Amino acid sequence: MKLMSQTASSFENYKIKQSLERLERKRSFNGATCLVSLYMPHGISIPDVTQQLVDERGTAANIKSKQTGKAVIAALSSILTRLKQVRELPDNGLVIFCGMTQSGKVEYFPVTPVQSLSRKMYVCDSRFHTEHLRDQLEVKDQFGLIVIDRESAAFALLRGNHMTFLRKLHSFVPGKHGKGGQSQRRIQRGTEILAKDHLRRVGEAASEIFLEIPDLKGIVVGGPSLAKDNFIRGDFIDFRLRDKIMGSVDTGYTGEQGIRELMEKSGEILKDVRYLEEKKLVQTFMRELGKDTGLVAYGHKEVMKAMELGAVKTLLISEELDVIQTKIVCPHCKYEKQEAVKAREFVDFEEEIIKSNCPECGSSKLSIEDTQDFVEELGKRSNETGAMIEIISIETEEGMILFKSFGGLVAILRYPIREM
């Protein structure tokens, strides 16, 4: 299993996350400390690592619990056998997870990180330690969003495919009035003072929120022209944040609705942010569907037919469509059963099967002989036909529509297929 970077396709990142989640859900066979996590940076001596593992194996023979000791020895022996085949570590190093899990079997998982490992690490625990690999998957860049008018201001944070609404402020600026003469001038002066105070408070709130974020890449400001421009050009925002302003956009709304409008109109400014990419992909599908061009397919049967014909240009898959097809077998009576299970529930499902008896002969030897990840199978078929795969989260309204209204699987086609 190879760990990909943030520049990898959404499909590759999806596969990686799924793999790490499965590793993180695995536990030792009886809560024993027998699952090995081994991190090896590039450049370290493989013979030195081998010797360390041999020493650890010798120590394991002295563990009080013979069952635990045997499990640790089995894991280390499995790693040592495979290390004999490794002549040189990959440029970014190698991570090995191995041990007797709740399945009762010694399982082995090698991972090649996308970023260079900074240090060597050996851990024997009741779980696999994936934290360092998980950190490499995180989207570091974050973007601040501010929408402001004379009456209020709203703040949000955009990171990858996730947007968080943070805060809303209200001003003390009065609405329009009908008085004239000196009263009008007096009220106008007071209004200007309150308007400046509002902009000052917005700047202070921006500092409280965004200066605490170490990976803030930029800020986009939205709102009616006058309020927005006065805020940016005036001395209201900390110079450290002013330098991060990437652009501004005219919006007609404030609050959460204004934040959504700001994101919709910031396509060019935030063109590489995954949140907006996902919205555009689903919007493209819905636009073609609305025009009845015949360039879309939805529903499992139609999409799979289009895949077989090589007509799929882009496949949109909800990240919630994480189904694994399993084959349950009994070695005694040849009982077989196909069952679909959510990937996130697979480890618990596997444990339940192991504890169950065969419904035909009563044997306690039931096991899962074969598994097939539905999304990964779609990935293999896409490679054969040249189709692109995009994994869509449910963080956006469009992502929710894809999952709830279309079953999480749709396709944008290269050409119309009228009869399917």
- Nearest Cα residue to 330 out of 356, 292, 298, 296: 356
Mean pLDDT, residues 365-374 taken together: 83
Q: Which amino acid is at 83?
A: L
Mean pLDDT, rounded, for 351-356: 86
On whether the 273-420 domain is CATH 3.30.1330.30, my answer is: yes
- 415 pLDDT more than 90: yes
Q: Give the Cβ contact number of residue 78 at 10 Å.
A: 18
The predicted pLDDT at position 5 comes to: 39
For residue 184, count other CB atoms closer than 10 A to its CB.
Answer: 12
CA atoms within 13 A on the CB side of 329: 8
Give the pair of three-digit tokens for residue 402: 């894809």
Average pLDDT rounded to a whole number, residues 111-117: 85
Kindly report, residue by residue over 67-109, the tens digit of the pLDDT: 999 999 999 999 999 999 998 999 999 999 999 998 888 999 9
User: Residue 349 pLDDT > 70, yes or no?
Assistant: yes
Confidence check: pLDDT of 312 > 90: yes
The listed range with the strongest mean pLDDT (40-49, 102-111, 317-326) is 40-49
4, pLDDT greater than 70: no
Q: Categorize the per-residue pLDDT at 271 as very low, low, confident or very high, splitting at 50, 70 and 90.
A: confident
Mean pLDDT of the chain: 88
CATH number of 142-272: 3.30.420.60
Domain boundaries defined on the chain = 10-137, 142-272, 273-420
Q: CA-CA distance, 350 to 361, in Å (whole number)?
A: 20
Q: Is the pLDDT assigned to residue 272 strictly greater than 90?
A: no
| pLDDT tens-digit readout, 54-64 | 999 999 999 99
Q: ∠ CA(365), CA(366), CA(372), 5° rounding?
A: 140
**CATH number listed for the domain at residues 10-137:** 3.30.960.10
Using pLDDT thresholds of 50, 70 and 90, give the confidence band for residue 3: very low
Domains 10-137 and 273-420 share a fold: no
The pLDDT of residue 273 is above 50: yes
Sign of CA dihedral 265, 162, 238, 244: negative
Position 403 scores a pLDDT of 95
Provide mean pLDDT across the span 392-405.
Answer: 94
Cα–Cα distance, 411 to 253 (Å, whole number): 33
Judged by average pLDDT, the poorest of 174-178, 227-231, 411-415 is 174-178
- pLDDT higher than threshold 90 for residue 146: yes
pLDDT at 355 (0 to 100): 86
Query: How far is residue 266's CA from residue 276's CA, in Å, rounded to a whole number?
Result: 9
Highest mean pLDDT (candidates 109-123, 162-176, 200-214): 200-214
**What pLDDT is recorded for position 305?**
92
Q: For residue range 178-205, what is the model confidence (pLDDT) as tens digits? A: 455 455 665 567 567 788 889 999 999 9
Pairwise CA distance, residues 145 & 219, whole Å: 6
Beta-carbon contacts of 190 under 8 Å, excluding residues fewer than 6 positions away, are: 174
State residue 216's pLDDT score: 92
How far is 63 from 69, CA to CA, in rounded Å? 5
Higher pLDDT, 190 or 3: 190
Q: What's this model's pTM, rounded to 2 decimal places? A: 0.72
Give the least confident one: 58-62, 407-411, 414-418.
414-418
